[in-house]
């Protein structure tokens, strides 16, 4: 098994865990949890394959990723009480999946002769965020990438690191570097609560304070 395969399997497992945990949190039934986990795990890869012309997508030609996702989902169903003890579990696994798919997709873009910085970065970003966006839309949540969370920026940083490093080091090192930068930055943002500012947040906060004061007077 190559480094490319190992990183992709890591991404599948990580995103499947985040999808399964989200499904359990949202009180879905077993089938719903499985569908959400599989969609999260392979959704970004399907989008990537369509964009680069690798059709039909690998997920539909080889059931390996589906099987890995399904087995991971079953494991999560038996261990979710233990996993939920850890703070930000879903986001941590999401960050690992984000890093893995950013790295493998940037690498695949290069292999298909899509070798400009813009294309490599775009393919990596769409793949990295694709599964997570589908997961959140399915459970009626605003996707991380559209909130104040620092999300897509970490993918862009990782993809750019891969693109420039490939000229100087072996592809395996570029893969590892991209994965570590993307996942590492995302985990740091989670740990230290680093977010982008939200327009109107100050106004809303003032309104809340004003309403609270009025309530106290009453």
List Cβ neighbours of 131 (8 Å cut-off, separation of 6 or more): 15, 19, 39, 40, 41, 42, 43, 44, 45, 97, 101
pLDDT tens-digit map of 4-49: 677 788 888 888 988 998 999 899 999 999 999 999 999 988 998 8
Give the residue, 203 or 149, on which the prediction is more confident.
149
Please confirm whether the linkage preceding 57 is cis (ω < 30° from 0).
Answer: no
Is the pLDDT assigned to residue 3 strictly greater than 80?
no
What's the mean pLDDT in 84-88?
A: 69
Is the pLDDT assigned to residue 180 strictly greater than 90?
yes
In eight-state DSSP terms, residue 6 is H
Is the pLDDT assigned to residue 124 strictly greater than 80?
yes
For the chain, percent of residues with pLDDT exceeding 90: 33
What average pLDDT is seen over the chain?
84
Confidence band, pLDDT 50/70/90 cuts, at residue 85: confident
Is the pLDDT assigned to residue 113 strictly greater than 60?
yes
Is the pLDDT assigned to residue 56 strictly greater than 60?
yes
pLDDT tens-digit map of 129-166: 888 899 999 999 988 788 766 888 899 999 999 999 99
| pLDDT at residue 209, as a whole number | 39
Instruction: Please work out, in degrees rounded to the nearest 5, the angle formed at the alpha carbon of residue 33 by the alpha carbons of 3 and 95.
Output: 40
Is the pLDDT assigned to residue 216 strictly greater than 60?
no
**C-alpha gyration radius of the chain:** 19
Whether the full predicted model's pTM is greater than 0.85, yes or no, is: no
Q: How far apart are CA 142 and CA 73, in angstroms?
A: 23
What's the mean pLDDT in 41-60?
A: 87
Q: How far apart are CA 1 and CA 104, in angstroms?
A: 14
Dmax (CA) of the chain: 69
| pLDDT at residue 212, as a whole number | 47
Nearest to 69 by CA among 34, 105, 30: 34
Give the residue, 118 or 55, on which the prediction is more confident.
118
């Amino acid at each position: 098994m190559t480094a490319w395969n190992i990183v992709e399997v890591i991404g599948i497992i990580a995103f499947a865990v985040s999808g399964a945990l989200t499904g359990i949190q949202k009180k879905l039934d077993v089938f719903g949890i499985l569908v959400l986990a599989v969609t999260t795990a392979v959704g970004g890869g399907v989008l990537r394959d369509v964009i680069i012309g690798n059709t039909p997508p690998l997920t539909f030609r080889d059931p390996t990723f589906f099987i890995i996702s399904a087995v991971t989902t079953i494991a999560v169903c038996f261990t979710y009480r233990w996993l939920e003890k850890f703070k930000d579990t879903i986001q941590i696994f999401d960050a690992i999946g984000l890093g893995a798919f950013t790295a493998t997709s940037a690498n695949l873009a290069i292999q298909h002769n899509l070798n400009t910085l813009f294309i490599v970065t775009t393919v990596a970003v769409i793949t990295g965020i694709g599964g997570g966006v589908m997961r959140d839309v399915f459970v009626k949540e605003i996707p991380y990438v559209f909130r104040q969370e620092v999300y897509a920026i970490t993918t862009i940083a990782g993809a750019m690191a891969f693109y420039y490093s490939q000229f100087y080091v072996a592809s395996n090192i570029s893969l590892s570097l991209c994965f570590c930068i993307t996942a590492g930055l995302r985990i740091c943002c989670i740990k230290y609560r680093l977010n982008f500012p939200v327009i109107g947040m100050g106004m809303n906060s003032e309104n809340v304070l004003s309403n609270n004061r009025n309530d106290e007077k009453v």
